Amino acid sequence: MEQQKQKGTEGKEECHLCRITYSIFSTFPSMPSAMALNVETGDFFPMDTLHSYSTGYEMAEALGYAWACNCRERSRQRFDEQFVLRDGAGRPFTNAHYRVRVGPNVIASGVTDEEGRTQRITTKDARGLSLEIGRGT
With a cut of 70, say whether residue 74 has pLDDT above it.
no
What pLDDT score was predicted for residue 66?
A: 82
What pLDDT score was predicted for residue 122?
A: 76
Shared-domain flag, residues 31 and 61: yes
Shared-domain flag, residues 43 and 100: no
Shared-domain flag, residues 96 and 68: no
Gap between the Cα atoms of 26 and 129, Å rounded: 34
Regarding predicted confidence, which is higher, 3 or 121?
121
For the chain, how many structural domains are there in total?
Answer: 2
Shared-domain flag, residues 72 and 119: no
What's the mean pLDDT in 88-107?
89
Shared-domain flag, residues 83 and 113: yes
Q: Which domain holds residue 89?
A: 79-133
CA 9, 13, 14: angle at the middle one, nearest 5? 75
What pLDDT score was predicted for residue 134?
A: 83
